[in-house]
Amino acid sequence: MELRPGQVAVVTGAASGIGFAMARRFAADGLKVVLADVEKAALDEAAAELRATGAEVHARVVDVSERDSVMELAEAAYDAYGVVHVLCNNAGVGSGAEGRMWEHEPNDWKWAFAVNVWGVFHGVQAFVPRMLAGGEPGHIVNTSSGDGGIAPLPTASVYAVTKSAVVTLTESLYAHLKAEHARVGASVLFPGPHMLRTGLWESHRNRPERYAKQRPRRTPYRSLDQWEAAMKEAGQEVRFTSVEEVADFVADGIGEGRFWLLPESEHSDRQIRARSQSMLDRSDPAYLERFILD
């Protein structure tokens, strides 16, 4: 679909990182933007920053893991603007799980699934029926990750399982929309090709009491800066992709109606081939083994 001034874009997880960059890009293109996020102070700041550029902004505190909260978001978006063209189900968290899977806390799984998977499903249920009924062209972008969306990083396996689900969910959504000959398309986003400097490493800042950890972590949370420093010390160069590059990639991808919003990357291609080949050969997933001792 062609992005045009006056259209309406809804972005979840819009107060920071990739979500904020997407909202900024849509606003720069003249779209009205609905910013949804669970973190009120950051949301207010993001909304003020966009309004200062002259953008038309509706900001709302939303917890995507709660169905009612997302239903109310849709209600508010339609009350404010009467139509929605673009929906980015982007809010996501790292689970905070550590150690082997059999040692994980169930709440790490519950929280990550509630936000990363149920959050996307709630977005689909709250918005798609109204987008279809409106009859206007539209597009849904669900944020996955190379971690899980392509192959799991076993050291971040809960997150990987949720992001793998986002790919399958979006493939199914695409098929359902096609079967209805809908004017609404769907894409799955793999932000990258490199790491992004965002708040994802500090996801625990938004962890609600109902999914609280039941025992203290054995190791403290590592910040992105600490991780980068450790990688450098180990002689590994870390490359970053800017959030603006991801936002431009998304806007172009919507315009071109591309399903796989997967940036060109030799590393990703190698992983995809290795995983597919392992499945075709019915061989063990040896492409994961170098991580197993981490």
Ligand X SMILES: NC(=O)c1ccc[n+]([C@@H]2O[C@H](COP(=O)([O-])OP(=O)(O)OC[C@H]3O[C@@H](n4cnc5c(N)ncnc54)[C@H](O)[C@@H]3O)[C@@H](O)[C@H]2O)c1
**Active-site residue set:** 159
Residue 191 is a binding residue for ligand X (CB under 6 A): yes
Nearer to ligand X, 138 or 199 (CB): 199
For residue 287, how many other CB atoms are within 10 A of its CB? 16
Rounded Cα gap, residues 233 and 288, in angstroms: 24
Count helices and strands (H / E) in the chain: 11, 9
Nearer to ligand X, 196 or 251 (CB): 196
Residue 138 forms beta bridges with which residues? 184
For residue 209, how many other CB atoms are within 10 A of its CB? 5
Figure out which of the listed residues 195, 247, 251, 254 binds ligand X, where binding follows CB under 6 A. Answer: 195
| Ramachandran region, residue 101 (left: φ > 0; alpha: ψ -120 to 50; beta: rest) | alpha
Q: How far is the CB of 143 from ligand X (least distance, A)?
A: 4
Residue 95 is a binding residue for ligand X (CB under 6 A): no
Q: How far is the CB of 15 from ligand X (least distance, A)?
A: 4
Residue 260, SS3 per DSSP: strand
Q: How far is the CB of 161 from ligand X (least distance, A)?
A: 12
Q: How far is the CB of 27 from ligand X (least distance, A)?
A: 16
Q: Which residues contact 158 (CB under 8 A, 6 or more apart)?
A: 95, 97, 104, 108, 109, 112
Omega before 285 within 30 of 0, i.e. cis: no
Applying CB under 6 A, the site for ligand X has a residue count of 30
Task: Please identify which residue in the block is written with the tokens 């403290």.
Answer: 220
Residue 170 is a binding residue for ligand X (CB under 6 A): no
Q: How far is the CB of 155 from ligand X (least distance, A)?
A: 14
Task: Please identify which residue in the block is written with the tokens 């096609």.
Answer: 178
Report 12-71 residues binding ligand X (CB under 6 A). Answer: 12-13, 15-19, 37-39, 42, 62-65
Nearer to ligand X, 223 or 277 (CB): 223
Angle between helices 17-28 and 243-256 in degrees, nearest 10 = 60
Nearer to ligand X, 73 or 137 (CB): 73
Residue 242, SS3 per DSSP: coil
Report 107-166 residues binding ligand X (CB under 6 A). Answer: 115, 143, 145
Residues that bind ligand X in the complex, under the rule CB under 6 A: 12-13, 15-19, 37-39, 42, 62-65, 90-93, 115, 143, 145, 191, 195-196, 198-200, 203, 206
